Structure 1
Amino acid sequence: MPTAVDSMSIWGLIEEASVLVQIVMLILVAASLASWFVIVQRSRLMASARRSLQRFEEQFRAEGSLDRLFNQTCGQTSAAEQVFRSGFSEYQQLSQHASTESTAVMEGAQRAMTVAIAREEKRLEKNLPFLATVGSVSPYIGLFGTVWGIMNSFIGLSQVQQATLAAVAPGIAEALIATAIGLFAAIPAVIAYNRFAAGSEDLIASYYTVADELATLLHRRLHTPGQR
């Protein structure tokens, strides 16, 4: 003959859980949904940044004139193009003044590109601390709900004359659901955080490579008139 434990579903266990455990579960579900929203948003952003970087690198190396490339990238908003336009625009403004030393021209262009890269780095790393927080805190929140549920189960067990597994099992099961939800929220957040952090570092390194290549060409142009 089936017992109440056999016929009880996961949803039924959640409904029978204490108010505090239900609040813990609700917090974890909300954190999981928010983290998945961030994961999808960051995935699209990273994919778009990689595509635009690859497209610009091909254009940058194929174009024979920096002036034409500057005009072609007018109105473009991708990070690589913004780095290029910031550096080249600063170079043009400073090099127009004959009194400006070549060292000052190059330093100004490099600073402009560094600022553009720092701005993009901030954009790429936006919301990553939230994923890190969800990944590190969710298991402990779930564990708190589990401890509270098990504590209530043993308190209830002490109030009955005959202690049986059927009496304590539902309470323990509903408590363990909180831990499961906490892990469900934490694991994707940790994986996504590591992936996005590594991807962000790779993109930033590529932007610095673009900046260094442009600085080399500008230095050559500054000291060898007629170059690109």
Structure 2
Amino acid sequence: MTTLSLLAATSISAPARLDPMQLFLDADFVVQAVIIGLLLASIWVWTIIVGFTLRLAGLKRKSAHFEDDFWNNDNLDALLDARRRKESPSARVAYAGVAEYRRTQKSGLKDREGARERIALAMQGQVAEEADGLAARLGFLATTGAVAPFVGLFGTVWGIMNSFFSIGQQQNSSLAVVAPGISEALFATAIGLFAAIPAVIAYNRFSGKVGLFEAGLQRFADRVGSEISREMESI
């Protein structure tokens, strides 16, 4: 068989387009394990992205509604009941400050500056706790964004090693022998990037949103602290 006929046969048997499923099925079991792990990580990344987006939107809506009620309602006991505290971060922040103020009232306002500081610290601690709880699962996005490309690269290196092993076995370095193995190997890198890129973008974006949400809670806490301070001065 001449070189031209060999090339013609190869072009006839070659697939018309890239088939990811066939690349996966033809890959070595190690490369397949890498691809499966990266796909599972990608699914979890998108689950976090969707869940975080919905959760943050709900918390913002509940906090805004509570803050409007807080400044237009004199009945703090009804406003800071257990149900509202469970639903709204702003309610929990306000409750931390009001609860500390009430404890101070019971012991007597002997040191107003110390009381103001304790109230502010109580609300700051609650603000930090709310932000930490919101950002709890973002660490997985950062880990996936940093690690997934290297995991995919491991699969690629392993696949290329198999390709060179095939070259040695068949004693043939033609493109028809090398290309399938290299394609399968590079597919692992592509899946690694597929998992990593959304994770990095989402982590950076969500980290900024958590910072803005925390800053909004802190501004609310400062206003609550100012109101409590004015009430203390009137006593």
TM-score, length basis structure 1: 0.89
Deviation sequence 1:158-182 (CA, Å, 0-9, x none)? 3334432111111111111101110
Partner of 2:15: 6
1:27 aligns with 2:34: no
Structure 1 unaligned blocks of 5 or more: none
SS in structure 2 of the partner of residue 163 of structure 1: coil
Partner of 2:81: 74
**Residues 1:99 and 1:58: Cα distance change in structure 2 (over 3 Å):** closer
Contact 1:131 1:190 in 2 (8 A): yes
The one-letter amino acid paired with 1:199 is K
Q: Distance in 2 between matches of 1:222 and 1:25?
A: 63
Deviation sequence 1:75-116 (CA, Å, 0-9, x none)? 212111100011012112212333532123212211221221
Partner of 1:203: 213
Structure 2 residue corresponding to 1:53, chosen from 51, 63, 70: 63
Query: Which consecutive segments of 4 or more residues in structure 1 shift more than 6 A?
Result: none
Q: Distance in 2 between matches of 1:97 and 1:163?
A: 87
**Residues 1:157 and 1:130: Cα distance change in structure 2 (over 3 Å):** same
Deviation sequence 1:112-139 (CA, Å, 0-9, x none)? 2122112212201111111100011000
Structure 2 unaligned blocks of 5 or more: 1-8
Q: Distance in 1 between matches of 2:44 and 2:68?
A: 37
Partner of 1:106: 116
Partner of 1:183: 193
Q: Distance in 2 between matches of 1:49 and 1:38?
A: 16
Q: Distance in 2 between matches of 1:17 and 1:4?
A: 18
The one-letter amino acid paired with 2:22 is G
Q: Distance in 1 between matches of 2:214 and 2:109?
A: 34
SS in structure 2 of the partner of residue 6 of structure 1: coil
TM-score, length basis structure 2: 0.87
Identity percentage over the alignment?
Answer: 38
SS in structure 2 of the partner of residue 198 of structure 1: helix
